[in-house]
Amino acid sequence: MSWQEYVDNSLVGSGNVERACIIGLEGGVWATSAGFQLAPAEISAILQGYQQPETLYQNGFLLIRNDERSIYLRKGEEGGILVKTGKCVIIAVYDSKKTMAGTATTTVESVADYLVENGY
């Protein structure tokens, strides 16, 4: 399966995630859903958020969970799920009016588990 297929089918296609992308740990975009564009500064802030979570607070996010693998965020009606594997970070956004946080989280964490099991 291509990186784009993971985004389109396993993440957004699940119906539990509105937008998603996969970025490499060096900051390159591997795949992204239609209309979900992250600026280089946003990618940098996301990657930096694992080491310095205060950068995420400074951008107006409420941190629900923050550990070395997963960061769960909330900003208004949207929630964000960031999951780091050995080689990439999955970034997913969900609408809390349509999807429960736990459902979206399970979807993203499952894709991350699969990638880790397969060397990514």
Whether 5 contacts 14, CB under 8 Å: no
Q: For residue range 90-117, list pLDDT tens digits in order.
A: 999 999 999 999 999 999 999 999 999 9
Q: Six-digit token pair at 24?
A: 């490499």
Separation between Cα atoms, residue 31 and residue 22, nearest integer Å: 5
Separation between Cα atoms, residue 85 and residue 98, nearest integer Å: 27
CATH code of the domain made up of 1-74+108-120: 3.30.450.30
Separation between Cα atoms, residue 95 and residue 71, nearest integer Å: 17
Q: For residue range 3-42, list pLDDT tens digits in order.
A: 999 999 999 999 999 999 999 999 899 999 999 999 998 8
The whole-model pTM stands at 0.94
Give me the residue spans of the domains in the chain. 1-74+108-120
